[in-house]
Every structure is written in C-alpha cells, then in structure tokens.
Amino acid sequence: MTIERSGRAARPERAAGLLLHVTSLPGPWGIGEIGPHARRWLRALSAMRQRYWQFLPLGPTGYGDSPYQSLSTFAAHALLISFDDLRRDGWLTAGDLQGFPITDATRVDFGAILPARRARLQAAADRFSAASAARQRGFAAFRRRQADWLPDYALFMALKTEHGGRAWTDWPAPLAQREPDALDAARRRLDREIRREEILQFLFDRQWAALRRTAARLGIRLIGDLPIFVAHDSADVWARRDLFHVDDRGHPTVVAGVPPDYFSTTGQRWGNPLYRWEAHAAEGYRWWIARVRRALAWADWLRLDHFRGLQDYWQIPASEPTAERGRWVAGPRDALLAALRNALGGRLPILAEDLGIITDEVRALRDRFGLPGMEVLQFLFGELAERPDRLERLRENSVVYTGTHDNDTARGWFEASAASAEGEVARARRAAEALLGRDPAKAPARMVELAWRSPARLAIAPLQDVLALGSEARMNTPGTAQGNWQWRFAWPQLTAAAKTRLARLTRAAGRAPPAG
C-alpha cells in the first residue's frame, strides 16, 4: 500500500500477504529467529507471489510470553537474534552452541530455552564488548541515536535481573522511585550487565536491518504490530511515570479493558495503565512520535491494535477485579494522529484494528485520516444471514483476514462450529458451509480464496490457514494464560504444491506483483 506525501491515503495496491510471527519460524535453536530461516521465509513469500509479511510485536516479553505485554515498547526481543548469524560474524563459536537443549521443534518451550539462549547471548555480547574498536563500528552511533530510551531500558533490565524478575514496583523504593543517587549507584554496580543489554539491542538492529534489505530486494513489505497500551511492568512506565495514571508508589490508579458484551458478562480487564493524555499533549506527543518512529525502523506499515481507544477508551478503577464498573473516556482523537502525520512528513502508514463494537465516531476518525480498517472472515459469516452481500461490499480501503492471531485457525473454527446446533455460531456455520462446503480439510483453502477475491485492497491469511492446520496450530486463545504463542511450523509442511496453489490464486485474484 502507498501513502501520498499530502497525508491522504492513496489508492492501495491490490496485494496479498501472510501472517506469521518470527517466533513461529523453523530452526534448530528452540525459537524462530531473524537469520537464515527468516531469509528463506522471505524467499518463500516471493515464490508464492506475496507482497506482505505481517508479524506480531517484536518487543521483549515478560510473564506469559505475550508479545502484547512487552517489557519495552522501544526495545526488541533479544531472544530473536540469530545464533547462526552471530556465529558467522564471530560473536559465537561452535563451542558456545554445544549442549544447547533440544526442544520440540513444533513448539516454543519458553521455560527451557530462555536460560539457554540468554547464556549464549551474554557470551556473544561479552565477546563483542572485548572486540577492537573497528569491529565495534556502529555501536556508539546506535547508542547516540537511541539515547531517548536505550539507557533506561538497559538499566531497567539489569535491575529486573538483579531483583529476580520482580516487577519494578517491588524493587527497593529508591530504585522504584528513580532517586538519582540510587540510579547512579546501580549504573556503577551493573555496568557490565547494562552494556550487555545495549549490545544485544544493537546486534538485533543490525540483523533486522539486513533482513529488511533482503525483503526490499524481493519486493516484500513488512507489517508490524503496535499495541495501543503498554505493560505496567515495563521500562516505559518506570522511566516516564508522568505519562501514565499511576500513584505515588507507581501502581496504576485506572487500567484499560473493554466493557461487558455478548462474549463476556464481566468484560475484559486488561490491566494496562492508562495514559495521561493531557501530559502527552503538553509535550506535543513526543513520546508517541518516538515510539512510532522506532516501530517503523522495523516495518513499512504498523497495525495499531485497539484503534477505537484513540476515540474513546474504557477506563476501569484499578481496585475493580472486573471491567464491569468502568466508563468511557475521550481519547486523543485527531490530535495524536495529526501529530504523528506531521512528524512523519505527511505519511501515516497505519492499519486501524477496528474490530469489535465500533461506533460511527471511530469509523469517522479512521476515515478522516484515510486509514485502512480490518475485516475478518470468521466474524463476517455471522452477518451473512441478514446481509448476503456483505462480502461483496467490503471497503476497498481495508485489509481482509481469514483470521488473526487471536482466532482459532480456519479449520479449527470450522470444525468447532459444527458442534453448535443453534445461536450465532450455528448461523455463522450455515453461512460458511454455503460458501465453503462441509469438508473441514477444504474449507481453509476456500476461505483464503474468498479473501483473495474480495474487493479489499489487501488480503492476509495466517500461514496456518494456507496449510489447512487445525486448532493444534492456534497461536493464542484470549483469556487463557497458558499454552499460547508457542506454535512453529516446519519447512516440509510448506510443500511445493501449497506454494504453487497460493501463487496461482494470487495471480488469478489480481494481487501478484507485476511481472519482471
């Protein structure tokens, strides 16, 4: 998709892409990385005539391993650094990699690989730190460019390790309250650990920049993901408490969520601290501008999660155990988007995640800035009984998905819905059968074809749906704390037949890149 310099959205190119998080890539080191297998994935996308790769947030994860609850909105997850590329560049040796615990190649066992990978990343950072100035070329410049967030993040991570991973509000008060003398002493005490964290961020950035160059050569654009809220236990809140609704001890006073609805009688209490939007406005949204610029160093476009929170957001007192006793509060609305557009030189490469109960005001905000919205086929089937032309009338300026990271796979959803004899799920199932048939093995391919042949300018499917995988390949089940974010694919699953089939569909649907 393209953006005019005026800031108005140009007519997006008709294209297609696949959704796959980095952690789901194959490879021998326990988790997907940004090295050889990521480059092979880009070549596979090109062979399938895809023009977009979408992934989930790249930040360092904390408890629960969710990329949507990151320890920093500016930092990258060092766990994704490629061991193979570190060895090629001399920062790891064959000896460093001996004895790496072998884990199930189809799942990410975070508990097993975290300490094993961390030890090897520290070895690489120490080797880099001891290298000559010539071999460290670029590191000092990186530190200067990232000076707004990198020192605080590196200190935060070093302190978090020192305190056994506890949340920053449980640290000794002088550190939690960021008393200057306590921070100075910590910097001296943890100098080596701080430098390691800075080096790992540099190494990630260097590897990712190389990956982006490969993508550009292949004509692949990258879509990142930007959660609207940040985690409370993060370097962001610890370093800039003035920008969040927290009390004198750093605890949230109000938190984010969504109100009760058809799916949940008590709503969803996410627990993220809410922004002091007046403080952001007073500094010209400088923190948000820096945040978006940092994310755009990794991607061409950003999916802004929970876009409706820019218009109005559900504010829940932190003392409430559920989301029932919240209220709607006005968000920054046009002011933030205008500030971002101006700072980015008239560009606003944002996809608005506008799912759920969306008001006319939210749609109007989206449309005033020409932002593409989202459509999800699994949700749309339920509307077809009353609006049979719903699929044919999708907005051109939108991105249509077969499903997202929060959905079951297309096959899993199709199989599970067969158990419903009545109600909304049953109605959606009947509408799906009319379009997809009754064979669960064939339904995913037909759903991908529906998305690809739709009027939406961009169509995206999770790789699981291209491979017709069942619920065992689901990435995340909202409301559950265990077993998420673990799925990985293996190269034999992506057969030549599957690649040829998607390439042919992409060409037939008018979404393939121009020949030559």
Residues designated as active site: 305, 353, 406
The CB-based long-range contact list for 352-360 (8 Å cut-off, 24+ gap) reads: 352/304, 352/307, 353/303, 353/304, 353/305, 353/306, 353/307, 354/307, 354/308, 355/379, 356/258, 356/261, 356/308, 357/261, 358/308, 359/308, 359/311, 359/312
Identify residue 218 by its one-letter amino acid code. L
Q: Are residues 314 and 328 in contact, defined by beta-carbon separation less than 8 angstroms?
A: yes
Q: Compute the distance between CA of residue 246 and CA of residue 500 in angstroms, rounded to an integer.
A: 53
Q: Compute the distance between CA of residue 397 and CA of residue 368 in angstroms, rounded to an integer.
A: 13
Q: Are residues 67 and 81 in contact, defined by beta-carbon separation less than 8 angstroms?
A: no
Alpha helix ranges (H) inside 344-422: 360-368, 377-380, 410-417
Q: Which of 394, 306, 383, 294 is nearest to 344 (CA)?
A: 294
Q: Compute the distance between CA of residue 80 and CA of residue 327 in angstroms, rounded to an integer.
A: 39
Per-residue CA distances from 372 to 67, 301, 311, 350 (Å): 23, 11, 16, 7
Q: Which of 289, 310, 306, 314 is nearest to 365 (CA)?
A: 310
Q: How many CB atoms lie within 10 A of CB 11?
A: 11
User: In degrees, to the nearest 5, what angle opens at C-alpha 180 toward C-alphas 271 and 278?
Assistant: 45
* Helix orientation angle between 496-508 and 36-47, rounded to the nearest 10 degrees: 50
What six digits make up the tokens of 476?
């995340």
